[in-house]
Structure 1
Amino acid sequence: MPSSCSRWNTAAPSERRSRTVTRRYREGLSDKSLMDLARMFNNIVQGWINYYGRFYKSMLYPLLRRINRMLVGWACQKYKRLRRREKRAGELLAGAARRFPNMFAHWRFGLKPDGWAMGAV
């Protein structure tokens, strides 16, 4: 049984909550549009940005990059022409981010998909 101190030492979005969001990206969302995904997850992600962006911003970036990677995986599953073409799926999302920069909360925050790099230096 964990000690009571260990449960208060969480400085990043809870692992359970982040796994819930990323699991939903994988589970049968190929029938949803990009706008539907934005509606489903923006409240959760905006809450993380509001809270953790103020106190522990460096821990927030890897999580938001992971959401971008999950969106690339969603595009590969949804569109048959993008299967096994992650670079093209990333370019598709980068184009969507240029056209609709406020669609996802983490895109407004500044972590937009940049084609293949997806935030890498």
Structure 2
Amino acid sequence: MHHRTSLTEKDLADCINPIVRGWMNHYGAFYRSALYPLLERINAYLLRWVRRKYKRLRGSRKARTSWNNAVRKRPRAFAHWAWVTHAPTVW
């Protein structure tokens, strides 16, 4: 996912939202806490995508600031942001 830098944020969301929404509906009904690490991993890949697409955000601090602004401005852009909005710090 993080290698698709030619896609816009909306295109990327259109690709992954139906899949992630299906996981959340199916597995979230039975074992919701098991999904949190997976959703954080998706956020980590999204953060990598941001850092690769926008060269000015290569630094981790700038990327985090941009990430927080994106989540605050567009909280429904990605389906899994309803449950998990932060990206792991180790990625």
Compute the TM-score of the two structures, normalised by the length of structure 2.
0.87
**Distance in 1 (alpha carbons) for counterparts of 2:43 and 2:64:** 9
Aligned to 2:80: 106
Compute the TM-score of the two structures, normalised by the length of structure 1.
0.67
Match of residue 31, structure 2, among 56, 78, 100: 56
**Distance in 1 (alpha carbons) for counterparts of 2:65 and 2:24:** 25
> What CA deviation, in whole Å up to 9, does each residue of 1:56-92 have, x standing for no partner?
1111000000011101100110011122x12321221
In the TM superposition, what are the counterparts of 1:65-104 in structure 2 within 5 Å?
65-83=40-58, 85-104=59-78
**Distance in 2 (alpha carbons) for counterparts of 1:57 and 1:100:** 23
Whether the 8 Å contact between 2:44 and 2:88 is mirrored in structure 1 is no
**Distance in 2 (alpha carbons) for counterparts of 1:60 and 1:44:** 13
Structure with greater contact order relative to length (CA < 8 Å, sep ≥ 6): 2
**Distance in 1 (alpha carbons) for counterparts of 2:5 and 2:88:** 24
Match of residue 22, structure 2, among 47, 51, 56: 47
* TM superposition shift of 1:33: 1.3
Structure 1 unaligned residues grouped into runs of 5+: 1-24
Structure 2 unaligned residues grouped into runs of 5+: none
Q: Aligned-pair RMSD on alpha carbons?
A: 1.5
Aligned to 1:4: none
What percentage of residue pairs aligned between the two structures are identical? 43
Equivalent residue pairs, number: 89
Which range is displaced more, 61-70 or 31-40? 31-40
Whether the 8 Å contact between 2:41 and 2:88 is mirrored in structure 1 is no
